[in-house]
Amino acid sequence: MKLLRYGPQGQEKPGCLDDEGRVRDLSGHVADIAGAALLPDEMARLMALDINSLPVVPGTPQEDLRLGPCVGQTGKFICIGLNYADHAAESGLDVPPEPVIFNKWTSAIVGPDDDVMIPRGSSKTDWEVELGIVIGKGGVYIDEANAMDHVAGFCVINDVSEREYQIERAGTWDKGKGCDTFGPTGPWLVTPDEVGDFNALAMWLEVDGKRYQDGSTATMVYKVPHLISYCSQFMSLQPGDIISTGTPPGVGMGQKPPVYLAGGETMRLGIQGLGVQTQVVKKA
């Protein structure tokens, strides 16, 4: 099932995508794609619905019908750094001996096609296509063997990053990761049954039609179950939390010479089976 949230910013309603690419309204069955609605029993209830019996929402999603972030009320936006060997190399760093964890502030979360705003004073705003895990059932000290029981679904994330703020502004990385609009999330939350093998998903990112990132989750160093278990050693995970799992090579910082966003560009990015995002870059 592809769950989504549609409508104006801050007033999104729950919905899902049907086989014809139309949005169906889930308002009669769930208040929001958020919190307790992501627990396994609630997800099973939604997945048992006859989608074709639900009201059709007028408009074409991602064209004249805005989609919001595919999950609401996210409490924690956790990111994994340097989780692709080739990306670590282009960053001039070794693959870390255990996962690097950093944060994006939840105020960075926007819809998949909302504008990305370059922060004032920025000269090094960059992109990162990433596989996002959305937590369903919460937990702490989760065993790797049971980790997938805690996944509500997967989505596309653009881990937009300001490299000077991240690296050259007296630490920590978070300073360059959590700026407003730096976390486009969606278009849909795809349930694991529909994603299939999450270790073999093609992923890509283009700026103004030029493909910079062209990778696969196959080259992730630390895999999804390990990341869930690992994060849960340091914090409890709760429904609606997001873990963004790192980016493959091809970020702007890794180009020779480096390429950064100046405003006016269009970013397009996607992951196999999880949909496509499109963002226009503007100056804050």
Tell me: does residue 158 bind Zn ion (CB under 5 A): no
Distances (CA, A) of 68 to 90, 112, 202: 32, 7, 23
Q: What are φ and ψ of residue 248, in 5° steps? A: -75, 180
Segment interacting with Zn ion (CB under 5 A) among 47-55, 197-205, 217-225, 244-252: 244-252
CA distance linking residue 2 with residue 18, whole number of Å:
8
Tell me: does residue 114 bind Zn ion (CB under 5 A): no
**Tokens representing residue 86 in the block:** 């080739």
Work out which of 32, 114, 159, 265 binds Zn ion, going by CB under 5 A: 159
Nearest-approach distance from CB 222 to Zn ion, in angstroms: 13
Nearer residue to Zn ion within complex by CB, 114 or 128: 128
Nearest-approach distance from CB 197 to Zn ion, in angstroms: 22
Nearer residue to Zn ion within complex by CB, 6 or 182: 182
Tell me: does residue 279 bind Zn ion (CB under 5 A): no
Work out which of 114, 126, 128, 206 binds Zn ion, going by CB under 5 A: 128
Tell me: does residue 247 bind Zn ion (CB under 5 A): yes
Nearest-approach distance from CB 141 to Zn ion, in angstroms: 25
Nearest-approach distance from CB 176 to Zn ion, in angstroms: 11
Write the DSSP assignment of 218-262 as a string of letters. GGBSS-HHHHHHHHTTTS-B-TT-EEE----S--GGGSSS---B-
- Kind of pairing, strands 100-104 and 77-81? antiparallel
Q: How far is CA 264 from the centre of its chain?
A: 22
Write the DSSP assignment of 112-163 as a string of letters. TTSPEEEPTT-S-EE--EEEEEEE-S-BSS--GGGGGGGEEEEEEEE--EEH
Residues 28-57 that bind Zn ion (CB under 5 A): none
Q: Which residue is nearest to Zn ion (CB)?
A: 159
Tell me: does residue 62 bind Zn ion (CB under 5 A): no
Tell me: does residue 113 bind Zn ion (CB under 5 A): no
**Tokens representing residue 108 in the block:** 């960075």
Nearer residue to Zn ion within complex by CB, 181 or 247: 247
Radius of gyration from C-alpha coordinates of the chain: 18
CA distance linking residue 114 with residue 48, whole number of Å:
31
CA atoms within 13 A of residue 258's CA, in its CB half-sphere: 17
Nearer residue to Zn ion within complex by CB, 6 or 77: 77
Tell me: does residue 162 bind Zn ion (CB under 5 A): no
Nearest-approach distance from CB 246 to Zn ion, in angstroms: 6
Tell me: does residue 166 bind Zn ion (CB under 5 A): no
Nearest-approach distance from CB 63 to Zn ion, in angstroms: 28
Tell me: does residue 217 bind Zn ion (CB under 5 A): no
Beta-bridge partners for 210: 207
Nearest-approach distance from CB 109 to Zn ion, in angstroms: 14
Q: Name the site residues for Zn ion (rule: CB under 5 A).
A: 128, 159, 247
